[in-house]
Structure 1
Amino acid sequence: MLRKGFKMHLYPGMAQEYEMRHNMLWPEMKEMIHEHGGKNYSIFLDEETNVLYGYLEIESEEKWSKSADTSINRKWWDYMADIMETNEDNSPVSTDLMPVFHLD
């Protein structure tokens, strides 16, 4: 299992909306995440900076990278584009974080 950390940026004033949308995460999106080897997925918000910090465990980078090309993932990106920083294809602007410590 590989651990991934990343950060994204939420638009100011969108914290409640972001949380609400994720609390109602579509069943198809949950299935897709699991089918592509993702589990133990958490996202945290720094309210002072509107930076979102994500943590996810994946089976492999190759399997996980294919999740971006699923129709449900593209639909989710479109749904979230109005409340966070995105690229031209509506994928979130996301920066991988370098792991520096882990303790089981």
Structure 2
Amino acid sequence: MNAATASLQGDLVGVSTALCLCLCTAGLFVASRKQQDLLLSQKILVWVGNHPEVTAGQVARAVGCSSPTARVGLDRLTKEGFLSRRQLHGGVRRYSLVT
């Protein structure tokens, strides 16, 4: 039974249960996504700490994500003060751990 069926039948307990399950599922998805982001940040920090002056492409290959995802993670960690970024000629950005 879903919320719509329960509603049509006037089953308020069924509606309540169905909506609760939907909200719980949504909460688990958000928690799972946050855990994935945290794990990726940890992988990036470890890799950059062991390989200073790396590019986003190198990080992406090392931690198993796309280059855009690596750039978002690197930019977030730079903004939070964990990494430093150095812009080279030609627009190449190199990242290192802040010491």
Task: Give TM class, smaller chain.
Answer: under 0.3
TM-score (norm 1): 0.26
Pick the structure with more helix per residue.
2
Pick the structure with more strand per residue.
1
